[in-house]
Every structure is written in C-alpha cells, then in structure tokens.
Amino acid sequence: MSAAGSDRRRVVITGLGVVSALGTGRAAHFEGLREGRVGIGPIERISAERLMIKIAAEAKGFEGTDYFDRSQLALYDRVTQMALVAAAEAMAQSGLEIDEELGLRTATIIATAMGGLHTQDENYYAVYHEMKNRVHPFIIPRLMANAPVSQVSMKYGLMGPAWSVATACSSANHAIGQAMQLVRSGACDAAVTGGTESVLCFGGIKAWEGLRVMSKDGCRPFSKTRNGMVLGEGAAILVLEERERAMARGATILAEVAGTGMTADAGDIVAPKMEGAARAISLALADAGMPAEAVDYVNAHGTATAINDRTEAAALRAALGEHAESIMVSSTKSMHGHAIGAAGALEAAAVVMALTENVVPPTMGYEEPDPEIGLDVVPNAARQAPVKAALSNSFAFGGLNAVLAFRGA
C-alpha cells in the first residue's frame, strides 16, 4: 500500500473555534474574510508612543475577563486565554463527548511560537525597572510555552499525547500536521490542535521592529507596493477525528486534512529558499495522493515582504507546474495580520470556509501587480468559486516549512 493508499485511515475536521482580529468566533472570522474586512489598525491596547510601528491586527473585542474569573486569570496569559476560548467553540461544534476511554486516545497538539509573552514582558518590567524582588508564584505556569496545550488538555480530560510546537511562523501547520498523523496512524482516535499567539505587548513589538520587516502603513501581499508584514494575534483550534468514527456518531464533517509536507531549507536563518518551500508543497500533495491539477485554492504564506512573496510564487510554480498559473492564491494575513505561531491555524480556518462555502477569501490591500509574482491573487474582494481541494502554506524563519493539503467533506 502506498503512503496515500485508499484504505488508509482518513482524518476529518469536526470542530473549529477562532479568535482573531476579525472577531471572536468562527462566524465573525468567516464574515470578515467574506467581506474583505481588514482587522489592521492603530495599536490601542498599549501605548504606541515609543513604538516605530504603530499598527497591528489586534483582537480588540477579546477580553479575558469576559470568559474567566480572577483565579483563572492568575494562571492564564492572554495566549492561553485565546486558546481556551477557541477550544471551547471547537469542542462544542464537534459534539465530541470525552469519556475516559476516548480521553486516553485523544491528542492535544497546540502551537505557539512565543508563549506567554505578555506575562514575560510585564514581569521583566517589574524586576528590572520597578526593582521588585518577587513576582507572582504563577509566573512560570503563565509564561511557559506549553501552558495553552496543558490548560486545554486539563479542561477536557485529554490524556493522550500532548505537546506544544514552536517553529516560528510554521508552528500551527506543524502542529496540525502532527496531530493528523497521530490520528491517521491509529495512535489516536481524535486530536485537538491548532495554534495561539499574542505578541502585541511593548517588548514583543520592539523585538519585531528590530528585524526591519514590518510595514508602517499596511499589509499588501503580492502587490508591487508592499513594504512589510503586520503583526497580529489570535487563536484557531480544530478538532480532528478518524473519519469513520466521526460518521458513525453522526458528526458534521467540515473538511478533510488529507496530507502534510514538512521540510527544512538548512540555509539562512531569515532568507527563505525556493527549493525547500517547493519540496514541502510537493510532499503535501504526495501525502494526500492529490495531483497538482486537483488543487483549486492556495492559502499562501503571503507575508507581504518582497523576498517571501517572490520565493513563494516561484515555489508554487516549481511544485504545481503550469497549473500554478490558473489556481486561486490569496493571503488572508492582509486581514488578520501575521499571528506567528497561530498564523497557520487562522489560515486553516480560512481554508475550511473556502471548502464549505465555496468562497475564496481575498488578498486585501492589493494595489499594483508585481511581474515577479504573476499569479491570480484574488485581489481586494472575495470570490465565489468551487473549491474541492486546497493547500495552506507556512514558511518560517530558520527555513522550517510546513504545508497542509485539504479536501472538502
């Protein structure tokens, strides 16, 4: 039997929860994507007085106090709060009832590249600037990178394999791909997976400013006038299940996670290599048993930096051949910003929308074609079009690439 053999266990999505700059809840996220609403604007949650970059994609309507009491908030950084809210929505939609038997066979694989950055930032300020000698005893449980996955697993009694994934901008795609493989292999029957990130604190933004890859005026992926990425925050959590089990219990199947491709450039820490990205795309297609011609839509990494956008366009041509010229490609980062470790999860949500509603989200902010891109980037307005299969690309600093292949239900 080949790796993509027809008798292999298939893995489907039965639940989805989202927190993003477009709103809290998958309905708000989908509505924003359909409308082409840009969630990028002036930073409001902190003072931007000492910031060079004064825009971001903040989840402005999200407040932890709306969901958690004081004792819980003592344990939850904003990154964990978002993961728990998204997980609650995903679990509710899935209708998955976790008894002890299923709990033992359900994985929790949740990504975050930066962890509890708000907690770290606040407490560095306390000990270095305010000269405090003590911090709250729960600081480590709040800031550790595995806090979101640990809190989600504890809330739902998920006792199967559990870990956090941190591979910069590819973190969520790596997490979803690993969760899919656990279910497909038979090691687990279900998985709660995705990504969460909140880096929009003073120290977090200052650190990203140092890279000189951020735009001061907006995110314009693939446009000749693009001048950098815009940071975002949020979380998206997916419930994955073995298809036959999901069908037997009458679950609504949103889409299938059909394949994954993971590669490393082994090159530069910040400059991507076309060959590594193209290989990840090809591996995802092969893993899914999906010919290039079957792909209708690609949710691009699309950071709006010159080198990344051009490298990704070249990689799509290398992996998809002539079909790349007719495929729909868009970057939803133009609306919800670049949420780093949560980026791939928010983009997986966009792919689910495309597969379930046949609506391809747009690339907003597009002003002028870049002749080195030359793809159909669905500029500035969503498009009604049949979508039966799609790819989602994530290409991270350090040359760590992860691509997911999806099919409609």
Residues taking part in catalysis: 169, 301, 338
For residue 165, give the nearest of 394, 10, 349 by alpha carbon. Answer: 394
Tokens standing for residue 222: 């693939």
Q: Work out the angle between the directed axes of helices 78-94 and 117-124 (0-180°, nearest 10).
A: 160
List CB contacts of 208: < 8 A, sequence separation 6 or more. 53, 199, 214, 231
C-alpha 224: how far from chain center: 25
Tokens standing for residue 326: 């007719």
Tokens standing for residue 196: 């969460």
List CB contacts of 125: < 8 A, sequence separation 6 or more. none
282 CB-side CA count, 13 A: 13
Apex CA 298: angle with CA 292 and CA 302, to 5°? 135
Q: In DSSP terms, which residues pair with 404 in a beta bridge?
A: 260, 392
- Burial label, 381 (beta-carbon count in 10 A; 0-12, 13-18, 19+): middle
- C-alpha 283/C-alpha 102 separation (Å) is 31
For 208-234, give the DSSP string.
HHTTT-B-SS---TTBTT---B-BB-E
List CB contacts of 4: < 8 A, sequence separation 6 or more. 259, 286, 287, 288, 289, 290
> How does 30-56 read in b/e, with b if 16+ C-beta sit within 10 Å?
bebbbebbbbbeebebbebeeeebebb
SS3 readout for 31-58: HHHHHCCCCCEECCCCCCCCCCCCEEEC
Q: How far apart are the first and last CA of the chain?
A: 24
- C-alpha 39/C-alpha 57 separation (Å) is 5
